[in-house]
Amino acid sequence: MINVKYLIANIIINSKLKKHPKIKQVFNFAFKKAETFFIILPENEIDFHNIIKELNFFEVNNKMFSLLVNDFRINALPTKYKEKSLGFNMKDLNILKLPTKQFSQKLKQIKSDLVIDLNKNENLFFSYAANLIDSDIKIGFEKNGADKFYNMQFSKNDQDSELFYKNFLNCLQMF
């Protein structure tokens, strides 16, 4: 059965993203040159807990980062990451499950060198949120319609979640 809300949300997103022309980019040294990162933590419970173990990766590489995380998961974060977190809850989603106007304004005020959406599954809220951040480089995983959201995509697989994220972050260092 076709989800009407999903279709309407896609139409709205497509109309808003058309206003932003795609520019040709070179990703050489993108990770090395980037100083600030905005990381969208995964919605999936297992993925969430596995990536938390790997966030130290950014500190080891002297990178500043902020996190987008569901409010109910902020307490699951180590204390040192809580102050770097922007929480959201159901009030920040509109009827189409996209960011509300107020939450969109918050996201648009954020400037980052690189945005990383760590959600392996399709979710319009997170994909669209990644595009509201002021950043030239947006990284995500291959999923339906990902081309309109991310200018760098990585293949995902069903391997062990912890190993997957560890390999993904190691792969980032190549850029």
> What's the CATH number where 162 sits?
3.40.50
| Model confidence band, residue 71 (pLDDT cutoffs 50, 70, 90) | very high
Is residue 25 domain-resident?
no
Distance CA 30, CA 64 (A): 15
Is residue 18 domain-resident?
no
- Asked whether the predicted pLDDT for residue 172 surpasses 90, the reply is no
Distance CA 132, CA 12 (A): 14
pLDDT for res 27? 60
pLDDT for res 24? 58
Higher-pLDDT residue of 39, 59: 39
The alpha-carbon radius of gyration of the chain (Å, integer) is 16
Please compute, for residue 73, the number of CA atoms within 13 A of its CA located in the half-sphere on the CB side.
22
**Residues 130-165 pLDDT 10s:** 999 999 899 999 988 888 899 888 887 767 888 888
Is residue 13 domain-resident?
no
- Asked whether the predicted pLDDT for residue 98 surpasses 90, the reply is yes
Average pLDDT score, the chain: 87
Is residue 24 domain-resident?
no
Is residue 95 domain-resident?
yes
| Model confidence band, residue 127 (pLDDT cutoffs 50, 70, 90) | very high
Domain containing 132 equals: 38-172
35, 69, 83, 144 from 74: Cα distances, Å:
24, 7, 10, 28
pLDDT for res 139? 92
Is residue 168 domain-resident?
yes
Is residue 75 domain-resident?
yes
**Residues 5-37 pLDDT 10s:** 777 777 777 777 755 555 656 566 777 888 999
Is residue 6 domain-resident?
no
Share of the chain above pLDDT 70, in %: 91
Could you give the number of structural domains in the chain?
1
